[in-house]
Amino acid sequence: MDHAYIEDNQIADRYVMGTLPPEEVERFENHYLSCPECLDRLDLVEPLQRGFKRMAGQDAAKLAATRQLAFVAWLARLGRSRQIGFLLAALLLIAVLPAGLLLRGTAERGRELALARSDLEQERQRSEQSAAETARLRSKLEANQRDLASQRQQLAQAQQPQSVTVLNLDVERGASLSGGEPTHNVRLPARSGWIILSIPIDPPFQRSYVAVLWDTHGHEVKRIADLKNQSGTLSFSLPPSLLPPGDYSLTIEGLSGRFTFRVLPPA
């Protein structure tokens, strides 16, 4: 660190003012320890800086005092009645100011309280909405769980081996249930399954047919409408539950003759 550098960068001034970075402080202290020139400089800068600060302080104090004096002079120039008026106004201000501040504080607290209440109410409403939504979702979940259980049950049933029994019927013209033994027998399946009845028809074919299933007492068991001709055959399925063991006859509206068959119990 040489003196040109110290002078160019105001190192001594900044050291005294305390605005020099720590690394520069260290370098400068190591330098001035044996440098009478820099110590002279420091001895000069220190009172200079102190003088500037004191002068600035004095000026500020003088300015404040001048303002106060100007105010007092203005007050003194007023007439007695104005002075009394001013004094009363000042006293009133002193008396009212704390109350005003208190009222202002109270109003602020009131506003804060109202705000807090409003927030609380909103929070409560949100909480209620949330509870209702939870209940709705729970109900929906339960319904879905029920549906799922039902579908699983159906799936389990569907996965069980199904037996399908196909019965091809021939028309027995002039035959009746009481007329004799049916020529077609069908045995009910041991487990779940379906019985498919297949009936041959002759042309001319109709647009649709209606089949009626009768029991041995002549009661109608089932009516199947809207049957379509499929290559000279009408086919439809019946659940075994509809056909307890016994004799049955089937008529097709629009066609003569009936088809008889016997349902046998499962083997």
Q: How far apart are CA 166 and CA 193, in angstroms?
A: 11
Taking CB under 8 A as the binding criterion, the range among 48-56, 61-69, 98-106, 227-235 that sits at the site for other proteins is 48-56
Please state the closest distance from residue 64 (CB atom) to other proteins, in A: 17
Please state the closest distance from residue 67 (CB atom) to other proteins, in A: 21
Taking CB under 8 A as the binding criterion, the range among 36-44, 95-103, 244-252, 254-262 that sits at the site for other proteins is 36-44
Q: How far apart are CA 49 and CA 45, in angstroms?
A: 6
39 binds other proteins (CB under 8 A): yes
Phi, psi of 192 (to 5 degrees): -65, 155
Instruction: Give the x-and-dash track for 9-28 against other proteins (CB under 8 A).
Output: xx--x-x-x-x-x--x-xx-
E-strand ranges in the chain read: 163-168, 185-187, 193-200, 209-215, 220-227, 233-238, 246-252, 258-264
47 binds other proteins (CB under 8 A): yes
Q: Which is nearer to other proteins, 9 or 163 (CB)?
A: 9
Residues 124-143 that bind other proteins (CB under 8 A): none
32 binds other proteins (CB under 8 A): yes
Q: Which helix (H) or strand (E) holds 112?
A: helix 80-159
CB 248 within 8 A of CB 214: yes
Q: How far apart are CA 15 and CA 122, in angstroms?
A: 61
Please state the closest distance from residue 70 (CB atom) to other proteins, in A: 23
β 185-187/163-168 pair status: unpaired
8 binds other proteins (CB under 8 A): yes
Please state the closest distance from residue 20 (CB atom) to other proteins, in A: 9
Please state the closest distance from residue 48 (CB atom) to other proteins, in A: 5
Please state the closest distance from residue 85 (CB atom) to other proteins, in A: 42
66 binds other proteins (CB under 8 A): no
- DSSP string over 119-172: HHHHHHHHHHHHHHHHHHHHHHHHHHHHHHHHHHHHHHHHHSPPEEEEEE---B
What are the residues whose beta carbons fall under 8 Å from the beta carbon of 165, sequence distance 6 or more? 186, 187, 189, 193, 194, 195, 196
- Binding residues for other proteins, rule: CB under 8 A, are 1-2, 4-5, 7-10, 13, 15, 17, 19, 21, 24, 26-27, 29-36, 39, 41-45, 47-56, 58
